[in-house]
Amino acid sequence: MAVAIDTPVADFQAQATSGQTIQLSALQGQQVVIYFYPKDSTPGCTTEGQGFRDQYPAFQAANTLVFGVSRDSLKSHENFKCKQAFPFELISDKEEVVCQLFDVIKLKKLYGKEYLGVDRSTFLIDKEGVLRQEWRGVKVPGHVDAVLAAAQALHKT
């Protein structure tokens, strides 16, 4: 069953950069932003990641962890993270377990061909593990600022 606003997010475990295993239940007590993006080192995904990187101190001040998720390999993620100096971890979801949980695999079209791909989406989870806000079909410009504002507002409650 996919996630829904104002309900707890099912616990999951996933492999991430820096040799880490991310388990949602272990993050309670902190807010969590999980952003899904289609592919490492592509223009829109790079711009989005740089936005989260540049605002990372403000997310930290709002007691909010940030994780990027795509279906790329850990090796690809490590290169992307290193090249862009991301201060947060990237989760490799080749089996689409986390993607399915958040229902972000959508039918897309490119040059007239249809394929299943990751719909750029972001989720804000409160410190008790409850989904508080979601953004689907994200357009990159201004998006990180909107997520940060929501994280800051939630942190104050």
Residues with active-site annotation? 45
- Nearest residue to 24 via CA among 102, 134, 137: 102
Q: Given phi > 0 = left and psi -120 to 50 = alpha, else beta, which region is 43?
A: alpha
CB 45 within 8 A of CB 70: yes
For 23-92, the DSSP string reads: EGGGGTTSEEEEEE-S-TT-HHHHHHHHHHHHTHHHHHHTTEEEEEEESS-HHHHHHHHHHHT-SSEEEE
Place of tokens 């719909």: 119
